Amino acid sequence: MTSQQAETVAPLLKAVADPVRLRLMSIVLSHEGGEACVCDLIPAFDLSQPTISHHLKVLHEAGLLDREKRGTWVYYQARPEAMQAMSALFAAGATC
């Protein structure tokens, strides 16, 4: 792994190092159409809506999720570039 690759992937790993955020990413990625509304995510957790929104904001700011406001709800979708960077990291580890 190059220094540049490490600089790119480290913030992504830091963002998903929290169990709630890791689960959020998993739910968004496995949700129908690859996107999920905040309203779809809240029932999966015993957390308040503001707490879920904070974790989604962290994932968005790290570059892992894109978001789009539709009416009163915000929909989240994994960023393909971030998923490719994460996938490349683990694929490289598998060839060692």
Residue 64 gets which letter from DSSP?
Answer: S
How much is the average pLDDT of 77-95? Answer: 74
Pairwise CA distance, residues 15 & 21, whole Å = 7
- pLDDT band at residue 85 using 50, 70 and 90 as cut-offs: confident
Per-residue pLDDT at 84? 81
How much is the average pLDDT of 20-43? Answer: 91
Single-letter code of the amino acid located at 86: M
Pairwise CA distance, residues 60 & 41, whole Å = 15
Return the higher-pLDDT residue of 6 and 61: 61
Rg (CA), the chain: 14
Residue 42 gets which letter from DSSP?
Answer: G
